[in-house]
Chains A and B, each alone.
Chain A
Amino acid sequence: MADDLRKMSLDIRRAVIEQSFRAGVGHIGSCLSIADVLAALYGNVLRGDGDDPARDRFILSKGHAVLALYAALHEAGRLSKSELDTYCTDGTAVSGHPDHALGPIELSTGSLGQGLSVGAGVALGARLSDSPSRVFVLLSDAECNEGAVWEAAMFAAHHDLTNLVAIIDVNGQQALGRTSDVIDMEPLSERWRAFGWDTHEVDGNDPDALAAQLEALPATSTTGKPHVVVARTTFGKGVSYMESQVHWHYWPMSEELYAQALAELDAAGASAGATIGER
C-alpha cells in the first residue's frame, strides 16, 4: 500500500509537469505541494463516488492547483486520459480552476476563502440527513488570509461538525512572496486550535502519514470538534529547481527545465522502487 501511494504521488507530479508544459501554464509549485495529500485522499481515504449521496466529498478550495486534482482523479479512474489531455484547451471543462460541470468536481472554486463555508454547509446537511458523508476541504496557508475562512471555522466549531476535515497546505509561499513575509499566519495550528478545532500536524509530503492521519480522524474524534490537518509541505516538491522558489507560482517551464523535471521525477521513482514508464 505504501508503495502504491508513493507511486500515485509521483504519477500525479508527472502529470502536473506534462500537462502544465503542454498547456504552457503555471501554478506548478502549488500543484506539486499537494500531490501527496491528493494521493492519500484519492488512493486511500475517500469513500464512494459518482452520485452516491453517502459519498465523501472533496472540495479543492485552493482551486488554482486544480491540475493536481485532475491528475489524482485520473489516477483514481474518475477522469479519462483523453479528458485530462484537454486541460486548458479551448472549450473544455477541464479548466484552470475547478468547474463542477465536470462530473467528479464537487464545487467550482477559484475565489479563495469560499470552500470551507460550503464544505461546512455540506457537512451540516449530511448530519441533518444522518448521512455518513465526510467532507474534506483543502485550503492553502495563504488562503487563510481570507476572513471568510475564519467565519467558517467559527461556525464549524460551534456546530461540532466532526464530519468536516480541513487540510491546510502549508507550503509557505504565496503569489508575491513567502507567507511569512506577506501575512505571517503562524502559529497556524494554535490559531485553529483557538478557533475550536482539533489540530493535527503532519508531514504533508508523506502520503502514508497523511493517509494514516486522515483515515484515523473520525475514529479519534472524542472531543466533538471538527478536524484540521496542518500539512507542512514543500512548495514545488519533487522538482529541485522549483522547491521553495516563489516564481514557480506563476511561471511555465522552458523545454530544458521540463526535461529536467521529468528526469528528476523518473529518478525519484526508480530510487523508490516504484514502477516507471507506465504513464
Chain B
Amino acid sequence: MRRAFIDSLLELAARDDSVVLLTGDLGFTVVEPFVERHPDRFFNVGVAEQNMLGIATGMAQSGYTPFAYSIATFASMRAYEFIRNGPVLHELPVRIVGVGDGFDYGPNGPTHYPLEDIGLMRLQPGLGVVAPADPEQTNAAMDALAEHPGPAYIKLGKGDERVPGLEGRFRLGRIELIGDGDDVAILACGGMVGAAVEAARLLAAEGVGATVAVTASISPAPLEDLAELLGRVPLAIALEAHYVTGGLGSLACEVVAERGLGCRVVRQGVRAVPRGESGSTRHMWERHDLTASAVADAAVSVLNSSR
C-alpha cells in the first residue's frame, strides 16, 4: 500500500508542481524514490507532527499541495487540533497520510494502534477520509483525491495483498460491492476487507448470501449507496480494526436510524483498550474477534435467532 502510494505520488508530482511531501521522520524504505526525484520538494520536519501540520497549512496557503506523512496515530491524533484549525477550517488541500491499519503495528503495542482515527477524522466536516483496501485501490484513491479540492486523510494499511474481486475500483462518496448476497452485508475498509471477503466465502458455503461493501470512502460518506444496500438486507456487520464507536459501524447505524431502515447492525470492532497484550496482527485480530470466521459465526447466529 505504501509502495502504491509513493508510486501514485510520484505520478502526481510529475504533472503537478505544487505537490510536496512532508514527513515526521518516518517512511524509511517508502519515501526514498520521492526524495531522489524531487529533493527540493521533500521536507523531513523531524519528530514534530503538530508542526508538520502547521507547515502543511502554511504551504497550502502559499499554493502548494502538501502530503504530510506519519504513522496513523501520530498523524491524526498528535496533530488533531492543527488539522482542525488549519486545513479543515481554512479549506486547504492538505493530504494527511496515516500509515497503519488498526493492528498493523502488531508487536509495537497500543501506542501504535490507530483505533479511533477514522472516527476522529470523520468528525471534521469537509475532510475527505479514505482507507483503501489494497494497492490498486490506493492508486485509484490517489487519482480521485487529485481532483478533491479540500483536505483529506488517507489511511494506508501495511499489507500489500490484493483483494479478489475489487479490481482497484474506488469512487469518492461511493461503496464498491463484491458479491450480491441478500442475507447479510459486510462493511469493511482498509486492512479488514480481506477478512470480509473471506467471511462472505465461508457464509456462501453455509448457504448464506453476503455482499461485501468496501467502504474505502468514509468521507464523503457513501450515504445513498449505504441506504440502498442496508434497505435490502436484514443484517449488516461492520468489520473494523477500530473502536466500535465512531467508525464504519457507527456510520451504518446512522444511515439505518436516519432512514428508518429495518436492518440490524452488528459492530464487529474493538471494544476495549488493548492494554497488557500485543502480538502479531493476526493474533490481535483473533483476540478481538476480527476474523472471517468470527464474522461468519456472528452472521449465522444473528440470522438464526431472528428466524
Question: What residues make up the interface of A, taking CB atoms closer than 8 Å to B?
Answer: 53, 100, 106-111, 114, 116-126, 128-129, 131, 147-148, 151-152, 154-155, 158-159
Asked whether A151 lies within 8 Å of B48 as measured between CB atoms, the reply is: yes
- Within the complex, which residue of A125, A128, A129, A152 is in contact with B54, where a contact is CB–CB below 8 Å? A152
Tell me, in angstroms, the Cα distance from A110 to B86 when the chains sit together: 12
A102 to chain B, nearest CB (A): 13
Asked whether B46 lies within 8 Å of A154 as measured between CB atoms, the reply is: yes
Residues A117 and B40 in contact in the complex (CB < 8 Å), given A122-B58, A155-B46: no
Tell me, in angstroms, the Cα distance from A154 to B55 when the chains sit together: 12
Asked whether A124 lies within 8 Å of B59 as measured between CB atoms, the reply is: yes
Residues A121 and B59 in contact in the complex (CB < 8 Å), given A100-B90, A114-B82, A114-B86: yes
Tell me, in angstroms, the Cα distance from A158 to B54 when the chains sit together: 16
Asked whether A114 lies within 8 Å of B54 as measured between CB atoms, the reply is: yes
30 contacts between A and B (CB under 8 A): A53-B63, A106-B61, A108-B89, A111-B81, A111-B85, A114-B54, A114-B85, A117-B50, A117-B54, A117-B55, A117-B57, A118-B54, A119-B58, A120-B58, A121-B54, A121-B59, A121-B62, A122-B58, A122-B59, A124-B59, A128-B40, A148-B50, A148-B51, A151-B48, A151-B50, A151-B51, A154-B51, A155-B45, A155-B46, A155-B51
Q: How many chain B residues touch A (Cβ–Cβ < 8 Å)?
A: 28
Most buried by B among A108, A118, A121, A148: A121
Most buried by B among A109, A111, A152, A159: A152
Type the 1/0 row for B258-298, where 1 means its CB is closer than 8 Å to any CB of A. 00000000000000000000000000000000000000000
**Further pairs besides A117-B57, A151-B50: 19, Cβ < 8 Å:** A100-B90, A108-B89, A110-B85, A111-B85, A114-B54, A114-B81, A114-B82, A114-B86, A117-B55, A118-B55, A121-B55, A121-B60, A121-B62, A122-B62, A124-B43, A154-B46, A155-B45, A155-B48, A155-B51
Asked whether A118 lies within 8 Å of B40 as measured between CB atoms, the reply is: no
Tell me, in angstroms, the Cα distance from A151 to B48 when the chains sit together: 6
Asked whether A129 lies within 8 Å of B53 as measured between CB atoms, the reply is: no
Tell me, in angstroms, the Cα distance from A135 to B48 when the chains sit together: 21
> Hey, which chain B residues are within 8 Å of A109, CB to CB?
85
> Hey, which chain A residues are within 8 Å of B86, CB to CB?
114, 118
B64 at the interface (CB under 8 A from A): yes
A35 to chain B, nearest CB (A): 26
Tell me, in angstroms, the Cα distance from A84 to B82 when the chains sit together: 28
Type the 1/0 row for B55-91, where 1 means its CB is closer than 8 Å to any CB of A. 1111111111010000000000000011001100110
A244 to chain B, nearest CB (A): 31
Asked whether B51 lies within 8 Å of A117 as measured between CB atoms, the reply is: yes
Type the 1/0 row for B89-101, where 1 means its CB is closer than 8 Å to any CB of A. 1100000000000
- SS of A interface (majority): helix
Question: What residues make up the interface of B, taking CB atoms closer than 8 Å to A?
Answer: 20, 40-41, 43, 45-46, 48, 50-51, 53-64, 66, 81-82, 85-86, 89-90
> Hey, which chain B residues are within 8 Å of A106, CB to CB?
61
Tell me, in angstroms, the Cα distance from A124 to B50 when the chains sit together: 16
A146 to chain B, nearest CB (A): 9
Asked whether A155 lies within 8 Å of B85 as measured between CB atoms, the reply is: no
Residues A117 and B53 in contact in the complex (CB < 8 Å), given A124-B59, A155-B48: yes
Tell me, in angstroms, the Cα distance from A111 to B66 when the chains sit together: 22
> Hey, which chain B residues are within 8 Å of A117, CB to CB?
50-51, 53-55, 57-58, 82
Tell me, in angstroms, the Cα distance from A107 to B82 when the chains sit together: 12
Tell me, in angstroms, the Cα distance from A117 to B54 when the chains sit together: 5
A119 to chain B, nearest CB (A): 6
> Hey, which chain A residues are within 8 Å of B89, CB to CB?
100, 108
B25 to chain A, nearest CB (A): 12
Tell me, in angstroms, the Cα distance from A135 to B53 when the chains sit together: 18
Residues A121 and B48 in contact in the complex (CB < 8 Å), given A100-B90, A107-B90, A126-B62: no
Residues A124 and B55 in contact in the complex (CB < 8 Å), given A53-B63, A107-B90, A108-B90: yes
> Hey, which chain A residues are within 8 Å of B41, CB to CB?
128
Asked whether B61 lies within 8 Å of A121 as measured between CB atoms, the reply is: yes
A232 to chain B, nearest CB (A): 27
Chain B residue at smallest Cβ distance from A53? B63
A135 to chain B, nearest CB (A): 8
Chain B residue at smallest Cβ distance from A122? B58
> Hey, which chain A residues are within 8 Å of B59, CB to CB?
121-122, 124-125
A165 to chain B, nearest CB (A): 14
> Hey, which chain A residues are within 8 Å of B50, CB to CB?
117, 147-148, 151
Which 8 A-B pairs give the minimum distances between C-beta atoms?
A121-B58, A117-B54, A125-B62, A151-B51, A121-B55, A122-B58, A151-B48, A118-B58
Tell me, in angstroms, the Cα distance from A117 to B60 when the chains sit together: 12
Tell me, in angstroms, the Cα distance from A111 to B40 when the chains sit together: 31
Tell me, in angstroms, the Cα distance from A62 to B129 when the chains sit together: 31
Tell me, in angstroms, the Cα distance from A123 to B43 when the chains sit together: 14
Chain A residue at smallest Cβ distance from B90? A100
Tell me, in angstroms, the Cα distance from A120 to B82 when the chains sit together: 14
Tell me, in angstroms, the Cα distance from A131 to B61 when the chains sit together: 13
Residues A118 and B64 in contact in the complex (CB < 8 Å), given A108-B89, A111-B81, A154-B48: no
Tell me, in angstroms, the Cα distance from A158 to B45 when the chains sit together: 9
Chain A residue at smallest Cβ distance from B22? A121
B218 to chain A, nearest CB (A): 26
